[in-house]
Amino acid sequence: MRQENKSLLIKYIICFGVAALITVMVFCIQGFFTDSAAINMQILSDGFTVSGVLFVLFGGMLYVSEEGALLGIGFVLRNIALAFIPMGRMKHEKYADYRERKMSERKKSGDHAILFVGLAFLLIGIVFTVIYYVKFYTPAV
């Protein structure tokens, strides 16, 4: 197995382990195996959905950051800091130059392990939610 495939597999395993840990923590907090099957199905749905949503949001934020959408915030914060440093305005550069420099320094990872693991856990949570609503849900009248 090539080194890059091995490192990608390790990233997926670590992401899966962290997502599974978050899921188990939600199970423990809500008291899994202590109530009826309907409550346990809700807890299963909650555990997988929470970890899935967290990973999807974090993966999306990493993707947006990789594309350079947050460079403007860094540029503004840098200029604010330079305003308080004596002779800091001497280091001022235009936003276009700043963006070009930062994008050239950036290396693209190309893997989205966090996003895909989050989508998988979110899909499992949605499946458990559908099972709960089909099997156990009775609307209050």
* 47 is a domain residue: yes
* 8 is a domain residue: yes
* 42 is a domain residue: yes
* 49 is a domain residue: yes
Selection from 18, 20, 21, 46 nearest residue 32 by Cα: 46
> Which residue is listed with tokens 């693209």?
108
Selection from 16, 48, 66 nearest residue 128 by Cα: 48
* 88 is a domain residue: no
Question: pTM, whole model, 2 decimals?
Answer: 0.79
Q: Which domain holds residue 59?
A: 3-68+106-135
pLDDT digits (tens, 9 = 90+) for 115-134: 999 999 999 999 999 999 99
Domain count of the fold of the chain: 1
pLDDT digits (tens, 9 = 90+) for 72-84: 888 888 888 888 8
CA quadruple 107, 108, 114, 120: dihedral, nearest 10: -170
Tell me the residue type at 31: G
